[in-house]
Amino acid sequence: MPILRQWNDLAELMPTVESARRDVVTVGVKMVTEGLELEDHSHHKAELLLGLSGVFRCEVEGGIWIVPPQSALWVPGGMVHRIAVFGNIDSYAAFFQPGADAKLPTRCCTLAVTPLLRELIVRSAQFPADQEVAAIESGVAALLLHEVSTAPLGNFHLPMPTDPRLRSIFQDMMTNPADRGTLETWAKRAGFSVRSLERVIAAETGMSFGRWRQQLSITLSVQWLAGGASVKQVAGDLGYENVSSFITMFRKALGVSPARFMAERTARH
C-alpha cells in the first residue's frame, strides 16, 4: 500500500481497504500537521493506529485516549470516534477483518508496542490490498494478529462521564487545568454536596476525584510534551507550583521522568 501524505487520501482509499478480503490491510501516513482534527467517523473494520512520531487524541463515547509516540490505539469496528492530530506525523493504520481473531480487543484502548509488533505493522504496509494473499503475507498477518491480541494495555485513557453536571465539571477542568480547585470547590460550583459528587465520580469513571485529575494531568502533559512544550511550561500550564512537584507526579504515574519518557520514545523513531 502507498505511503499517504494527506489524511484526505486515506478517506479516498477507505473503500478499497474496507472491501479487501484480507485479515489485515495497513496504510502508512506521513505528514506535517498543525492541529488537524478528523470529525466523527467509523469503519466496518477494526483499526490499529500506530504512532511513531507526533501525537493522536481519540475521543469516543465514554473517554479520551492519548497516543504518544511508540504507542498504538485500537478502535473496534463500527465504533464512532474522533481523532485530533498534533505535530509531524509518522504513523501506520492497520485495518482488521471482522472475525479475524476472536482474541482481539473488543473495546477502545491503547496498546504498548513491542519491537516485533511495530515491525510487523510496518512490514504489512508493503502488501497490496487488491491482490490475492501470498503465503508470506498470510504468515505476517497471523503473527500480527497474535501480537495485537496479547499486547499489554497502555495507560493513557481519560474516562469521561455521561452525567451532564459532572461532564460540565470535567470539561471546565480540561479547559483550564491550571485551576487547582478542591473537591469542595467544584461541588459547590456545580450544586453537588461533596459526598454526592464523590459518589457520582466513582460511579461514572471508576476513579476518585484526585485520581481523575492526575490522569487528566498525565494525558495533557504527554500531549503537550510530544508537541514540543518544555517540562517547565507543562508544569506551569497544569497549575503546579514548581517543576519538581510535576516531575514527581509524572514519575509516580509512568515510572520515568517526563524528559526520560520523551527521550526514550524519540530515540526509538
Per-residue model confidence (pLDDT) at position 122: 93
Grid cell digits, residue 44: 466496518
Q: 203: buried, middle or exposed (CB in 10 Å: 19+, 13-18, 0-12)?
A: exposed
Percent of the chain with pLDDT over 90: 46
pLDDT tens profile 62-72? 789 988 888 89
Provide DSSP, 36-92: -EEEEE--SSEEEEEEEEEEEEEEETTEEEEE-TTEEEEE-TT--EEEEEEEEEEEE
- Whether pTM > 0.75 for this model: the answer is yes
Per-residue model confidence (pLDDT) at position 88: 77
pLDDT tens profile 55-103? 888 998 778 998 888 889 999 999 999 988 877 788 899 999 998 887 8
Q: 33: buried, middle or exposed (CB in 10 Å: 19+, 13-18, 0-12)?
A: middle
Q: Which of the four pLDDT bands, split at 50, 70 and 90, describes residue 7?
A: low
Q: Cα–Cα distance between 159 and 224 in angstroms, integer?
A: 19
pLDDT tens profile 201-251? 999 999 999 999 999 999 999 888 887 889 999 999 999 989 999 999 999
Provide DSSP, 76-115: -TT--EEEEEEEEEEEEEEEE-TTS-TTS-SS-EEEE--H
